[in-house]
Amino acid sequence: MLGYSLTELCIEGPENKLNQTQFTQPALYCVSYMAGQAKLGEGLVPCAAAGHSVGEFAALASAEAISFSDGLRMVAKRGEIMSKVVGGGMAAVIGLDPDGIKAVLTENKLNKIDLANFNSPNQVVISGPATEIEDSVKVLKEAGAKLVVPLKVSGAFHSWMMQAPSQEFSSFIEAFSFSLPKFPVIANVKASPYSSIEEIPALLVKQMHSSVLWTATIQSIRASGVTDFVECGPGNVLTKLLRQIP
């Protein structure tokens, strides 16, 4: 389906190729989906699911709102489209709240940077032109940020720079079929469950250029009565963030 061996790329590399978003996204989708299937096979019965950015496709596939193969085709196209946008970057800002970050960016006329990921009260990811991201590091640190860490990504994801690619993606996913999830899946864009079939493609398109409301997503799941979380995918980044979210 992809035209290359994903297993070979994940295990043997090269890493610089795997870090290119057109390859990263299918890899994350497949590994996350398979990890989720393993948990379901062990008897796990989810109350709800959520995925961070491309992980949302794996969550939807796990909830049978999309088929695995359709999800893979969508994610591969999403990565291909997003890879065409050059000159962007992202950075994680730690220790400065969103209002503080916005104030610093405005004060320094860094107006092309968006707040992309609200990962926890202590961590916000910014996204925009690489030159402005570079210029923001010093001023954000001077304003009180404990750390400003440029991310190893190949574009300005979840920012205004992804609006044009999202329109191409919208045309692409019109051909796919969607179903209501078997259990609630929380959408990144609104931090609440998908409520209709029609909403699924619309929000997946919007997600490309909108903020990932991860803190609000976790709080929404907790408010529904959930107490136990299981991270399905590579690493434990989301588990670490979970501990930071009240």
Using 50, 70 and 90 to split pLDDT, how confident is the model at 234? confident
Q: pLDDT of 80-127, one tens digit each?
A: 999 999 999 999 999 999 999 999 999 999 999 999 999 999 999 999
pLDDT digits over 132-172, tens only? 999 999 999 999 999 999 998 879 999 999 999 999 999 99
Query: Sorting pLDDT into bands at 50, 70 and 90, what band is 214?
Result: very high
CB 150 within 8 A of CB 89: yes
CATH number of 6-84+160-242: 3.40.366.10
* Residue 217 binned pLDDT confidence (cut-offs 50, 70, 90): very high
Q: What percent of the chain has pLDDT over 90?
A: 96
Q: Is the dihedral of CA 6, 73, 47, 236 positive or negative?
A: positive
- Annotated catalytic residues are 53, 158
> Average pLDDT in the 8-21 region?
93
CATH says 88-150 is which class?
A: alpha beta
Encode pLDDT of 174-186 as tens digits. 999 999 999 999 9
Same fold, 6-84+160-242 and 88-150: no
Q: What is the pLDDT of residue 154?
A: 79
What is the rounded CA–CA span in Å between residue 80 and residue 134? 25
The domains of the chain are located at 6-84+160-242, 88-150
**Residue 73 confidence (pLDDT):** 98
